[in-house]
Chain A
């Protein structure tokens, strides 16, 4: 399922810049994500994390530099294009339609159809529910009421649905913006375990968080941004909270 070319990076960002007029939100920034790797992006507010992920996910066009997907340079005019190439962003405020089922959310905008009575096109709810069940099962998340609207589920479960949608559409790079921010502690742990699942499946994850504990629990590497430039990059196994904080605040 994962077409990886010999441990080369799935995603590489080279000398990426994004300027808004005179403001250099992102300047000459480089990083890479390999298959099965979780890279944490840390930095103070306004350090350029959001600008970076928006450039990678096709929301902004970068001013300079390039993005390579499996070694091939790519440009995205819209977030849809990025998604079609396998880069999925999971937003902090969860892009779910609360009144629809898990299956309907997974397939939102590309619903499967079947022919009723041989001619009448209708939504294939059975296929949606089946896909939902399988996908959520792969994330170690088992639901019995597949037809229930997602508003019935908890924050962590909804986060799982958003991740499940990305997994179903075979996203290879998942960008997760503060996925644990709005959750209670048990739910945070659930999301952390979901990220481990994604990692085990060979996907690349860019994980943005303010919570160093979460970062250390889940990431392989940490990249610190400060005022639009890369302030440092460390392997998680070779660093500690203090060092990361120093990189973030520039102490």
Chain B
């Protein structure tokens, strides 16, 4: 074999390949990305038809139904927004349900205590603030366990699930803590031009979180870490700091969820978020995120949470035994994951076998 001269003529350069701009592929990818909204539309159509056939009444155009569904979706959605960030980073936060319960109890106690000293509206704000801040504490511990001590997120947050649960029940004295504050009750049950305050607050919060995930460095780094920690580290991203902030953020989302729960029921209960943890994971997955990390959006999660709320409320509305809810939500989760897998295979992207 003869040696090649170092200075090669430019004509020898191989022409760059065209990138694979296959329109069919991107259509499938787009459908897969928006599947939660398709599910939602499909469900609403189903319930509309069912409702009209069975009762001769509209389902979707009834504002009371829409309000109820939105209220149903508030708490799971708040947990799921935090969960979305965590799952995109490749982790999971199992402690959110009981952090929410802890926050609800704190919100009730703090509002009552502050109400004795300061005007009621300020006491309400103090209660909400206290619950969100206290919720941050288990978040800090989760973050430190996972980022510094390299505890796997599943186990670290499972431990915190127990700790937060116990702390919440201890603080509540094993019962529910009623709130004596008319402003707080108004916040939880009042409406602004027909839109419940709770829904309004959640909507604003969700938009802020969407901004954080899609438009800031924090969000961008979150995606990068979920896809390739090694690459993120080599790019100079402070992984440990990011993970810490991430779990504090998700815990504070649960904290807000707890405060709004206390407002809605004018009571704090330790078990407030117990059934919502898995709903939050389900909302994120139905919303198009992958549990392997690296993908997902806040608006997808919104659709996922609404899908679950519509199933739960809709089945009650058409008078089906409530146990069917579990089956229906379960089936939607499985279909959603199957679509995700199929899309990965089809796009030839990196697969974890």
Contact = CB atoms under 8 A, between A and B. Distances in A.
Nearest to A89: B234
Given A156-B17, A217-B4, A95 B216 contact: no
Contacts of B61: none
Contacts of B3: 216, 236-237, 239-241
B227 interface: yes
Interface stretch (A13-21, A139-147, A223-231): A139-147
Given A236-B6, A237-B3, A100 B21 contact: no
A98 B237 contact: no
A105 to B, nearest CB: 8
B230 to A, nearest CB: 6
B201 to A, nearest CB: 20
B287 interface: no
Contacts of A111: 217, 220
A151 B347 contact: yes
B221 A109 contact: yes
Nearest to A96: B231
Contacts of A104: 220, 224
Contacts of B226: 99
Contacts of B221: 108-109
B19 interface: yes
B294 A98 contact: yes
A108 B14 contact: no
B6 A122 contact: no
Contacts of B184: none
Interface in B226-250: 226-228, 230-232, 234-237
A157 B1 contact: no
A99 B217 CA distance: 15
B1 A123 contact: no
7 contacts: A98-B228, A98-B349, A99-B295, A109-B232, A144-B21, A186-B17, A216-B4
Contacts of A113: 217
Contacts, number: 126
A95 B225 CA distance: 11
A193 B236 CA distance: 29
Contacts of A122: 211, 215-216
Interface residues of B: mostly helix, strand, loop or mixed?
loop
Interface string A159-200: 000000000000000000000000000100110010011000
A213 interface: yes
B347 A109 contact: no
Interface string B59-83: 0000000000000000000000000
A154 B6 contact: no
The CB with the most chain B CB atoms within 10 A, among A93, A96, A109, A140, is that of A109
Given A104-B220, A108-B224, A95 B295 contact: no
Interface residues of A, number: 55
Interface string A227-250: 000000000110111000000000
A80 interface: yes
A148 interface: yes
5 A-B pairs closest in CB distance: A109-B235, A193-B13, A108-B235, A97-B224, A122-B215
A193 B12 contact: yes
Contacts of A120: 211, 215
B223 A190 contact: no
Contacts of B319: none
Contacts of A66: none
B295 to A, nearest CB: 6
B194 interface: no
Contacts of B223: 97, 99-100
A122 to B, nearest CB: 4
A152 interface: yes
B6 A237 contact: yes
Contacts of A145: 19, 21
Interface in A113-150: 113, 116, 120-123, 140-145, 148-149
Contacts of A79: 234
Contact of B14 (A38, A109, A186): A186
Contacts of B217: 111, 113, 123
Given A142-B16, A144-B21, A152-B20, A91 B234 contact: yes
